[in-house]
Every structure is written in C-alpha cells, then in structure tokens.
C-alpha cells in the first residue's frame, strides 16, 4: 500500500467508510441491459469474441445489449468479420468473482477476450499486489483455458471525476484507480497477448447513466469503437481459420 493511501486511511478512515456506505445506499440500482448474450453476426473471417466482466460489461446504463458494449462491439466488428460472440458478465463481480465465473465454464476457444473488471476491487480493501496477482491469474486463465489470442484490457474509469461520489471518497477512489491502472498498463505491456485500451471514458454530462457511475449508450459506443480498432489491428493482417 502506498504511503498516501495509508495516510488517507488513518486520517480519513471513518469518513471514507461512512461516505461509501451512504453512496451505496442512495445510488439507484440500475438493471443489466436486456437482450441476447451470444450470437453470430457479419461475414468474412471467423472471429470468436468473448466479453467478460462486471456490470459495465453486462451493459448497466443501457436499456438493451444492442446499445451496450457487446452490441456496439459486435456491430463494429461485423463489418469485417463473421463474429461468433458470447458475453459472460454480472453486476457486482470483482476479480475473484470473475475468476470463479470463468472456472465454471467448460473450456472452449476464443480469438479475442475483452476484459472489464476492477471497479469493485478499487472500492474494496484489496491491496495493489493482491489485485495484480488476480489480474495475472485472469489473463493466464483466458489464455490457457480458452486459448485466447488477444486480451483487450479495459482500464479502470477515472473515478476521481465521478459526480456521484462525494469528496474525499472521490479523491481516494480516484487515487486507487489511477494507481491500479498504472500497474495494469505495465502488466499488459509485458504480455504479447494483451492490449490495454488507452482512451479514457470521461464521465462528462450526458454520457453517464442516471446513477452517475455507469456508462450511457454514447460511452458504450466510444468504448466499442476503441476496442474494435485495437482488435482489427491485431487480426486484419492474419487469416483466421474457422477451427470449429
């Protein structure tokens, strides 16, 4: 744990805890997006896509999966690929919960996995080292159990800008998120299979869901556009054989 984080917990611990409990109580609980969580779309080389993660991956903040990350990403990729896709995501998952979810699924091969996890780790008492160890386990599991050739890693959102969080909780969680992100970027940079997205999903007015925490449809579109570009950079120059 960093010196700044330790000091903040000593000086602000009771206030941070009270603000966290209050924020959880008053924040509207939005449902996951409705719609299919698997399918095929497009034509061209086969691209097997897996989207995994937490409430953002599940589309909270959008009414339907078509307006959420999965729908937007499949729509973009279907212009150049025959996309066979699956979405495994659930509200409230942290890294450990996602590991357990993945281990429940039988092994099957995917070309790409888009990973969205971490906000529920930042808001917990997990240390940076514990979190990084879980990220490494997630990446290894995706490569070993699901034969993933590219993991597209979504950075943690800029929580220091989240309007729904009161100060100093906003500053504290933002500090943790930025610190986690810096080390996640280092981890991804050292793994050939990993590409970390770099475009920040800024929580500007009109772009966030009504709860002030989740992306709205416009942010989901931006996220999907960024991910589609990164995936296309990796696979455009290689012919993907249908190995089904």
Average per-residue pLDDT for the chain = 89
- Which range among 17-21, 128-132, 146-150 shows the weakest confidence by mean pLDDT? 17-21
Is residue 21 a part of any domain in this protein? Answer: no
Dihedral Cα 53, 162, 73, 103, nearest 10 deg: 0
- What's 55's domain CATH number? 3.40.50.1110
Q: What is the pLDDT of residue 164?
A: 82
pLDDT digits (tens, 9 = 90+) for 204-237: 777 889 888 899 999 999 999 999 999 999 998 5
| Cβ–Cβ < 8 Å for 112, 146 | no
Q: What is the pTM of this model?
A: 0.90
Residue 3 domain-assigned (yes or no): no
Give the Cα separation of 68 and 55 in Å (integer).
11
> How confident is residue 7, by pLDDT bands cut at 50, 70 and 90?
low
Residue 191 lies in a domain: yes
* 45 inside domain: yes
For 88-135, the pLDDT digits (tens) are 999 999 999 999 999 999 999 999 999 999 999 999 989 999 999 999
Q: Is residue 16 part of a domain?
A: no
Question: For residue 219, is it within any domain?
Answer: yes
Residue 201 resides in a domain: yes
Give the long-range contacts of residues 159-162, CB within 8 A, separation 24 or more: 159/119, 159/122, 161/202, 161/203, 162/203, 162/212, 162/213
Residue 242 forms part of a structural domain: no
Boundaries of domain holding 92: 40-235
Domain count, the chain: 1
Angstrom distances, CA of residue 57 to CA of 91, 134, 190, 227: 9, 18, 25, 13
Say what the pLDDT of residue 206 is: 79
């Amino acid at each position: 744990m960093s010196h700044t984080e330790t000091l903040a917990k000593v000086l602000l611990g009771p206030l941070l805890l009270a603000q966290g409990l209050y924020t959880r109580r008053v924040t509207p609980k939005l449902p996951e997006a409705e719609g299919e969580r698997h399918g095929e779309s497009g034509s061209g080389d086969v691209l097997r896509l897996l989207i995994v993660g937490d409430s953002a991956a599940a589309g909270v903040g959008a009414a339907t999966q078509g307006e959420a990350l999965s729908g937007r990403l499949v729509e973009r990729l279907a212009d150049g690929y025959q996309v066979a896709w699956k979405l495994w995501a659930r509200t409230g998952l942290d890294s450990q919960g996602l590991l357990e979810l993945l281990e429940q699924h039988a092994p099957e091969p995917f070309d790409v996995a888009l990973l969205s996890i971490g906000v529920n780790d930042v808001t917990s008492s997990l240390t940076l080292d514990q979190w990084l160890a879980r990220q490494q386990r997630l990446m290894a599991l995706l490569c070993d159990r699901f034969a993933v050739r590219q993991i597209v890693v979504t950075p943690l959102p800029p929580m220091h800008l989240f309007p729904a969080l009161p100060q100093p909780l906003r500053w504290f969680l933002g500090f943790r998120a930025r610190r986690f992100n810096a080390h996640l970027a280092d981890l991804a940079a050292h793994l050939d299979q990993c590409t970390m997205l770099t475009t920040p999903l800024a929580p500007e007015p009109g772009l966030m869901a009504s709860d002030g925490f989740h992306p709205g449809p416009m942010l989901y579109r931006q996220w999907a556009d960024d991910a589609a570009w990164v995936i296309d950079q990796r696979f455009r120059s290689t012919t993907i054989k249908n190995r089904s």
